[in-house]
Structure 1
Amino acid sequence: MNCLNQCFSICFGRRRNIGNDVYEPLLQENERDAVTELLQYLENRKRTDFFQGDPLRTLSTLAYSDNIDLKRSAALAFAEITEKDVREVSRDTLEPIMYLLQTNDSEVQRAAAAALGNLAVTVTNKLLIVQLGGLEPLIQLMKSPNVEVQCNAVGCITNLATHNDNKGKIARSGALIELVKLAKSKDIRVQRNATGALLNMTHTEDNRHQLVNAGAIPLLVSLLNSNDKDVQYYCITAISNIAVDADNRVKLADESRLIQYLIHLMSSPIPKIQCQAALALRNLASDEKFQLEIVECGGLPPLLELLKSNTQQIVLAAVACIRNISIHSVNEKPIVEAGFLKLLIELISSDKGEEIQCHALSTIRNLAASDYNKMLIIKEGAAETIINLLIESENNSTGKGKGTSTSYLANGQTFGPIIKSEMTAALAILALSDEIRPQLFKIRVCDAIFPLTDKNEPLEVQANAASCIGNLAIRLEDDSQFVDAWPQIVNYLSRFLESRDLTLQHIALWTILQFIESDGNLKVLLSQTSALVQKIIKLLKVFNDNLEKNNNNSNNGTIQEIIRIISNISNGLNSMESEDDSRLEDGSNDETSTISNQEQTTNC
């Protein structure tokens, strides 16, 4: 029955039978006037503002009446009005509705909860409802045996839970336990609203923990198998958010069906479910156990298919997931054998967004940990793609870029620091291989890397580029490209040696050690670059003076490695001094004289 019919039945003396007695409802005069007025207002509802003035006073009179029929009329009126007219309202509007929630009549409760849920879509109303104590009666209505009442009460809670200021209050109110219970409802509307509310409560760490403590995890996992796609989506997304926290992942690990459900859902015909399933697996794959389990349970083939999607968000979710999975060394070979390399390389040079490129690069870097994969990465053209992209980006930034049919980047396009950092890190790892280094030189790795040591580059990019140079210098046979770039090398080595950053000092000292051990032109250039040698000696003295202090940090692997490098550099410098003394006694040869002249020129 709608509100208009309800009012007519009251006004025209609807009779009730109680036992053998027949009676007409007794109304106070002000109540009868209010019914008459409400009928008039409803007939002219398009021109009536029910949220203030006489119309609101009329509704309030009916709401606060002791007559259940009048309460129903008020509740139905509020429900019908708020279906079409939703706006910010005052406490004068909300208080009679919340009073109706506490009426011991399911029809009144249903309509009042619907009205409050309708109003709870605006920000101000969400906050005011909670401030006025609306949570407690709503929680009581969630316990109602009436499904319609449950559905509307949970729907209102769902709307209230979209505001961050309300989430903590809802979590502390006792609502979570009732929401978990109602998420098991056989009525799909109640289940949807309950799981939607649970999802809204997963956006802060404290609320997630309270949700887990309320027993939500087993429920959410079981509902992944629901036939209702909305319920599936809410539950996947909630699990994905819950999996952000390490403590929660430990509890999720107890759910034996979880990974298999999520892998299955990556093949769902609904894109948003595919995407959320991959995101949930990505978050779970922050832990070693899940990294292995996803591969063991057959997660790679559907992830590979998602990487081929035309939807950017799906590709991002999938590549982020495979990036985390690739962290585990046991997964490196299966990922490569599953055919991911080609797609990852395509994503590096795609226009699907920097975040996707970063995850693809990071995955390749992880896969490059093994020598076997390093060779495959080179054969698939990953290194050449990265190098060409870096060169084009640098040319575009300096105005030298000219777009051609073979260009990777649009004319003028450049990479930001995050992309360059990932690219240089990947090249640095590849450069550790004795077999691969000669191939890197052939595909212009120096042209890509040396400019990135410039002081104007972000520090992380400088550090990764310098690490790559240090690795390229290992057992260096042809040092001509290093000799040509010697001024650039001296500049960044000097900055790193003077830095207070232990990592930068480590990179510089490691690179210098490679130059000394190369026993070629670089060793000679180093010996003749007195300013750099003095900085090396100064840093060696600092470390030697503080050796006892550093020994107190013996568990620090970086310090231990630096001390080892320092010892080798000291021996190398002493050896260089001995060689210089021998040259002074024998006379300088032509080769030394030529290099000396070159050094003098570059110093100018």
Structure 2
Amino acid sequence: MLLQLTALNAGENQLCNDQILQTLIKLATSEKSKIQLTAAEYFLHVSLQLKSTLPDPFVRPIVTLLYSSDLKVQNITSLSLVNFLVNDTICIDLLIEMKILEPLIELLKSGDVVAQCNSCACIIMLSSSESNADTVIHDGIIPILALAKSYDPQVQQDAAWALLQLTQSDSLTKLICRCGALPVLVLLLQSSNSQLQFLSCTALCNIASIVELQPMLLNVCGYYLISSLTNLMSSTVTRNAAKACKCLAYLSHNEHIQIQLMELDCVLPLKTLLKTYNLIYIEPALTLLSVLSAHTPNKDVFVDEGILEIIGQLFHRRYAGPSVVIHCSIIISNLSNSDTGPEAMTGTMCISGLLIVLEKQTVSDEVLLQVTSCLLQLISIGTLRSLVVAQVTSKHVTRLVILSEQTRNPLLSYTCAAILGKLEQPEEDFERFPC
């Protein structure tokens, strides 16, 4: 009753006096969960109201409540701790000293989503303290890595989820990599559990997005990582395949990785993703393909596999947004100057797709520059010039004239003027002096 009245009526100075402290200690150490719940709810109220730092003696009842056998008590208490940490109203040094990480790690194993979210949020915020980062990583991350190696799939999944949350921060990502997270995450890719595959792959994707960590990722995991991700690209779970593709796209700027990917036959899973009807799955495939198609030894392989035909079809889909158009244009440019590219272009909808984008009035300069650059390259190829000219209409010419006269983007203006020049060039001169 004292706590209830105080929670409702007291000012901030009365929330944490000695009488309240003694009551909280008594309630927190009770063997009855309903009594512990009263203390947990009081701390939740305080965590929302308190503006100053929680007095040190009040930290111990919080730790005690986290060890409760009642999950509801643990959830409410861990939420209170999240609030205190977010509002910077609790002493982090004292929390570390009182081994707060031990009950938080246990909550990660609870299988309860609320408990996992709260405990992981606490660990992340505790790790953000520079003075305690190493301690938190040692006491918090090392046990999480150990849990990830468990034979219990649910425990593994909880650990992978925690590691994924930690990779949301660049600084924490670097720390967990130094603590040995990379081999563990790659090992989890081999799981038969699709959710575990997704969690570990997403964490690896976050790591791969940090350029300075890419050499470490490749040095530690190397071929095993690339082969695991390539295998995952063939998963029947499309979101897993797309996530693996996105991770590989970050790493594929390395020529050695490109060679490995082609040797591992990444083309078929790429084609499968491109033929889906969800932009979330198509974009990673296009991103990876735009990098791989720039590598000369790969070009004829992609052409022979019918990639140009698939790319042409993508232009004509309703969701061909800016990212799709840009990557498709890059891929067409890359493949059109291969040995077999110009001939293969003839039976596709690539040129008509590029011209459809050119007609649109709402397209950004970035997209227009990529599209017109691609058209300029195609019309400069002797065997393709007549194909482009045959599909260009007066509307396209008018659009090119308008764009060539705009001044906001000189490069776009120049590219459009160059296309117009190619269109006006006599056929016999073009054949004599191809660009």
| Interval containing the TM-score (normalised by the shorter chain) | 0.7 to 0.9
Alignment of 1:85-104 (within 5 A): 88-90=48-50, 98-100=59-61
Q: Does 1:374 align with 2:354?
A: no
Higher relative contact order (CA 8 A, sep 6+): 2
Distance 1:320 1:204 in 2: 24
Deviations 1:226-276 (A, max 9, x none): 344443322111111111233322222242322232233334454433332
Distance 1:345 1:201 in 2: 40
The residue aligned with 1:565 is none
What secondary structure is seen at the aligned counterpart in 1 of 2:318? Answer: coil
- Kept in 1, the 8 Å contact 2:253–2:291? The answer is yes
The letter for the 2-side match of 1:360 is C
- Kept in 1, the 8 Å contact 2:127–2:172? The answer is no
Please report the TM-score for the alignment, with normalisation by the length of structure 2: 0.77
Q: Which has the larger radius of gyration?
A: 1
Distance 2:376 2:346 in 1: 13
Q: Does 1:159 align with 2:121?
A: yes
Match for residue 252 of structure 2 among 275, 278, 285: 285
Q: Does 1:357 align with 2:319?
A: no
What secondary structure is seen at the aligned counterpart in 1 of 2:146? Answer: coil
Q: CA deviation at 1:170?
A: 9.1
* Identical columns (%): 19
Match for residue 96 of structure 2 among 136, 140, 144: 136
Q: Does 1:444 align with 2:386?
A: no
Distance 1:240 1:381 in 2: 33
Match for residue 337 of structure 1 among 304, 307, 313: 304
Q: Bigger CA drift: 364-373 or 185-194?
A: 185-194
What secondary structure is seen at the aligned counterpart in 2 of 1:225? Answer: coil
Alignment of 1:390-539 (within 5 A): 390=358, 392-393=359-360, 397=361, 414-444=362-392, 447=397, 449-456=400-407, 458-466=409-417, 468=419, 477=428
Residues 119, 289 of structure 1: CA spacing in aligned structure 2 closer, same or farther, 3 A cutoff? farther
Match for residue 175 of structure 1 among 133, 136, 152: 136
Residues 173, 189 of structure 1: CA spacing in aligned structure 2 closer, same or farther, 3 A cutoff? farther
Please report the TM-score for the alignment, with normalisation by the length of structure 1: 0.58
Alignment of 1:273-352 (within 5 A): 273-352=240-319
Unaligned runs of 5+ in 2: none
Q: Does 1:209 align with 2:174?
A: yes
Unaligned runs of 5+ in 1: 1-35, 398-413, 480-516, 519-604
Q: CA deviation at 1:423?
A: 0.9
The residue aligned with 1:118 is 79
Q: Does 1:234 align with 2:199?
A: yes
Distance 1:229 1:95 in 2: 44
Deviations 1:528-558 (A, max 9, x none): xxxxxxxxxxxxxxxxxxxxxxxxxxxxxxx
Aligned residues: CA RMSD: 4.5
Deviations 1:466-485 (A, max 9, x none): 55567779996358xxxxxx
Deviations 1:387-422 (A, max 9, x none): 3542x33xxx4xxxxxxxxxxxxxxxx322122111
- Kept in 1, the 8 Å contact 2:104–2:119? The answer is no
Number of aligned positions between the proteins: 418
Distance 2:299 2:60 in 1: 62
Residues 335, 109 of structure 1: CA spacing in aligned structure 2 closer, same or farther, 3 A cutoff? same
The letter for the 1-side match of 2:403 is L
The residue aligned with 1:5 is none
